[in-house]
Amino acid sequence: MRHGLRVAALAATLALVPGSGHGETAKAKPVTPQRTKYVEVALTSDLYPRLTPKEKGMVRLLIDACREMDAIFWRESYGDKRALLGSILDPELRRFAEINYGPWDRLNANAPFLLGVAEKPKGAGYYPVDASKAEIDAAAAADPLLKHPYTVVRRETGGKLVAVPYRVAFGEQVQSAAGKLRAAAVFAEDAGLRNYLELRAKALLDDDYRPSDLAWMDMKSNGIDVVIGPIENYEDQLYGIKTTHEGYVLLKDKEWSARLAKYAKVLPELQRGLPVPAEYKNETPGTDSDLNAYDAIFYAGDCNAGSKTIAINLPNDEQVQLQKGTRRLQLKNAMRAKFDKILVPIADHLIAADERGHVKFDAFFENVMFHEVAHGLGIKNTINGKGTVRAALKEQAGALEEGKADVLGLYMVAKLKEKGELGGRDLTDNVVTYLASLFRSIRFGATEAHGRANLAQFLYFRQMGAFARDAGAGTYRVDVPKMRAAMNGLSEKILKLQGDGDYDAVVSFLPKPGAMDPVLAADLARLASENIPTDIVFKQGIEVLEGARK
């Protein structure tokens, strides 16, 4: 629901995340050098040289707009970027802080990696660090805007908690970004893209994003795209409500996209066949969904922090999803980089030698693609009057939804292979690649939504005998029939948890933040000892794109 947001003059209270130790000179703890977790990849695209001069001008403006999302996300995640980076003397640690958007290691349960830095606040920069949930709940009963996705919560001089709209809290940045989007719209020859850019600029200034989300869904023929604004809610670990700023600039690969277009049309049929009672699948997915492949040429903000996104399923607005579905964007250049630099080396160490040949990029692409498509399956509203699934499950909703998408994505791959829609390969490539991918994502950390979701899947599949570990070799072997049976069982379990809106049961099912199975932890430590990176970090921008042409 959208509300008219109340503007408050609170200039003295808008500094985000006042943290203990943040103003001190930051020194490294005596730990292993951190940047070995990441491998640098130049974010380039063969599609960029094909753009017209006008289109390249638009790309520059869109990148500049996304840089403003980067500035906002620093404030949401940590606070004063300049003060933090200026206090770090070691250049390697300074770069690591840039990658993490703060002094907390996103791939290590948000552990501080600098001396003098306290534990990361669960509410990040969205709530006063001295405000308890009980205090916020009590104040929100009188002012629901405190729990609105597009406000930050601040404490006035007298101690009262107040809601500050994003358009006020981040006024300078959103004004600049809106201006860049409007300037880019002037260059846009595609009418749908031009309309979206104008509406998204307006949304940044009035915090009403639904019209621009609907316009984004209507775009079909544009070759350039931008995802920008407050979108995901993973950073808010206190309530899972506040949305976080990010931006992507994307180039559509129309040849790849043409091959994928047919799969979005099978959603209603797949929804009807889900292995769950009828009441848990009684919503009809939007039929205007589409599925396309892109090269990403710029990341900013939330999507650029720690682990990097390789596919997108948006909008998150449940009303837009039910009306029009979602768009699924496969970021194939980023996906390829993760496969080559990370997934293949992981398989060489943790997958049984005679099964490593089943780890293939085509299977990885399919698994990731149908993960995004699977976000559209199941239901968005609980079956017992608890409201939306996201509202009922609060901060647990994100991790469970990612787990649902993983397992239903594999379910969809299996069903489409049975129908002959995915070529001649059997399911073995997909399930072995899936297992290797579990190891990859669990390394994101047990506080990150995808990491928690993948650890939950690993523990469930192990319990069901879907794979076995060779203790001597320290490698894993998939049992394909048992994996298929476990896949159906886990699909039913997650869909019921969502439909029931059973918060306590979800807490019991998902691993606690920071938890890790000891045997698995030892296996993952072997990967670190072999200097296999956990994720990628980008060298990006116009200079990189232009340099790739020379």
123-127: average pLDDT: 97
Amino acid at 150: Y
User: In 443-517, which residue ranges form alpha helices assigned H by DSSP?
Assistant: 449-463, 480-500, 503-509
* CB-based contacts of 18-21 (< 8 A; 24+ apart in sequence): 18/79, 18/129, 19/78, 19/79, 19/117, 19/118, 19/121, 19/129, 20/117, 20/118, 21/115, 21/116, 21/117, 21/118
Q: Give the lowest-confidence range in 119-123, 211-215, 394-398, 443-447.
A: 443-447
Residue located via tokens 């090269």 = 295
What does the alpha-carbon distance between residue 372 and residue 402 come to, in Å, rounded to a whole number?
A: 9
Q: Which residue has the tokens 């948006």?
A: 314
Q: Is 477 among the domain residues?
A: yes
Q: Is residue 403 part of a domain?
A: yes
User: Would 413 be classed as within a structural domain?
Assistant: yes
Q: What are phi and psi of 163, to 5 degrees?
A: -95, 130
Task: Examine the pLDDT at 29 and tell me if it is beyond 50.
Answer: no
Contact 103, 84 (CB under 8 A): yes
Q: What is the mean pLDDT of residues 32-50?
A: 84
Domain-ending residue, one of 188, 205, 220: 188
pTM attached to this predicted model: 0.81
| Residue where a domain terminates, one of 188, 207, 233 | 188
* C-alpha span between 530 and 439 (Å, rounded): 15
Residue 181 lies in a domain: yes
Please indicate, yes or no, if residue 272 is contained in any of the structural domains. Answer: no
**CA distances (Å), origin 172, targets 61, 67, 71, 176, 261:** 17, 13, 10, 6, 40
**What pLDDT is stored for residue 516 in this prediction?**
80
Indicate whether 216 belongs to any domain.
no
For residue 22, tell me if it sits in a domain.
yes
Q: Report the distance separating Cα 240 and Cα 243, nearest Å.
A: 8
Domain that holds residue 475: 338-537
Tokens encoding 538:
């980008």
Does any domain span residue 148?
yes
Residue range 241-296, pLDDT digits in tens: 999 999 999 999 998 888 777 776 777 888 888 999 999 998 876 555 678 999 99
Number of independent structural domains in the chain: 2
Question: Is the pLDDT score of 533 beyond 80?
Answer: yes
pLDDT (average), residues 11-27 = 36
Q: Dump pLDDT digits (tens) for 176-191.
A: 999 999 999 999 999 9
Determine the pLDDT at residue 208. Answer: 98
Q: Which amino acid is at 430?
A: N
Last residue of a domain, one of 160, 188, 216: 188
Contact 405, 326 (CB under 8 A): no
Read off the pLDDT band of 21 (50, 70, 90): very low
